[in-house]
Amino acid sequence: MSLDGQNPTKAIQDPAMQDPATGSQPAPVVRAEDRAAVVSGATGPQRAQLAPEQPLALRSVREQVEDARHTARKILVLGATSGIAEACIRQWAQRGDALYLVARNPDRLAAVAADARTRGASSVGSAVADLDDTAAHPELLAHAINGLGGLDVAFLAMGVLGEQSQAERSFSAAHQILHTNLTAPVSLLTWLANYTAQRHAGTLAVLSSVAGERGRRSNYVYGSSKAGLTAFVDGLRNRIDRDGVRVMTIKPGPVKTAMTEAMKGSEKFADVEAVASTLVKAIDRGKDIVYVPGIWRIIMAVIRAIPERVFKKLNL
């Protein structure tokens, strides 16, 4: 199964990156503060001042019992410093999963990795990388999977809102939104899909958005990037679900994170910890499509049903 730059077998059989599925010794997991696998233009490992540790969340007895029975999973997080990803990482770490985190900001990435260790992750590896650089994806993903010693879950949480007003005036601004939210994830998913399909196992969980369900004047460039991503993930699921790979489309409504804090009405957005809890459980259960909060399934059904002659007059 060969695609230009997207053949996981070829990439993983590089002598420096042996395939964990073949029985060869995997690359050792290296602490993030000692070695960040720097890809796509970064000049070398960078140390960072760690952010103050966040308090551990109180957990119910039932949750503690479930975690005690939990078998640690090997989880790759792409876009690890996004608000939703950070909240999921905290929950995965707390139950002892093995994590490999990728993001472009070295200081924030180091803080997230340190927090994951504090919370109890069985191992934490990381790489500083610009995920917009599609040419670097095969090497990056091969290193990540070897660092984990395999792969159970890949969580794609990369994305930008962009500025709708700028995108309306400039194609280059629109193109950047489309590249980050659609083209780059398609590159990552093509490689990951081939890797997991060849092994007949794994879960690919992809963060899309309810904004992709109908174009609205307020954010149609962002929405179109998410609509394209949703369609791609739908088709990918149809292709490799029969190979034993779970492909999950995540459609959140507005969530209270750093990316949305400047938006009007952000104080009413969904709590990111509650969203993360829903997502972690849905990934464990192998759901196909998840709206978070769940009410957005109904809201978007109503919005899709509005006749176009009415919809085009609305200021949404």
| Cα 143 to Cα 121: distance, rounded to the nearest angstrom | 19
pTM, full prediction: 0.78
Encode pLDDT of 81-106 as tens digits. 999 999 999 999 999 999 999 999 99
Count of domains forming the chain: 1
**Beta strand spans in the chain (E):** 74-78, 98-103, 123-128, 153-156, 203-207, 246-252, 289-292
| Domain contains 316 | no
| Domain contains 152 | yes
pLDDT confidence bin for 244, thresholds 50/70/90: very high
Residue 115: which of 143, 140, 87 has the closest Cα?
87
Encode pLDDT of 270-301 as tens digits. 789 999 999 999 999 999 999 999 999 999 99
Give yes or no: 100 in active site: no
Distances (CA, A) of 24 to 19, 138, 197: 6, 19, 20
| Domain contains 50 | no
| Domain contains 284 | yes
Residue 66, classed as helix, strand or coil, is helix
pLDDT at 220 over 70: yes
**Six token digits for residue 245:** 């790979």
Structural domain for 299, as ranges: 8-42+63-311
| Domain contains 47 | no
Residue 247, classed as helix, strand or coil, is strand
Average pLDDT over residues 27-47: 37
| Cα 136 to Cα 220: distance, rounded to the nearest angstrom | 29
Q: So what's the pLDDT on residue 2? A: 40
Average pLDDT over residues 55-81: 71
Q: What is the mean pLDDT of the chain?
A: 83
Distances (CA, A) of 103 to 19, 38, 122, 270: 23, 10, 20, 24
| Domain contains 1 | no
Catalytic residue from among 100, 195, 220, 222: 222
Q: So what's the pLDDT on residue 71? A: 85
pLDDT confidence bin for 62, thresholds 50/70/90: low
| Cα 12 to Cα 254: distance, rounded to the nearest angstrom | 38
Q: So what's the pLDDT on residue 64? A: 54
| Domain contains 31 | yes
| Domain contains 57 | no
| Cα 200 to Cα 250: distance, rounded to the nearest angstrom | 22
CATH number at residue 181: 3.40.50.720
- Which residue in this structure is represented by tokens 């509005």? 306
- Which residue in this structure is represented by tokens 């174009």? 215
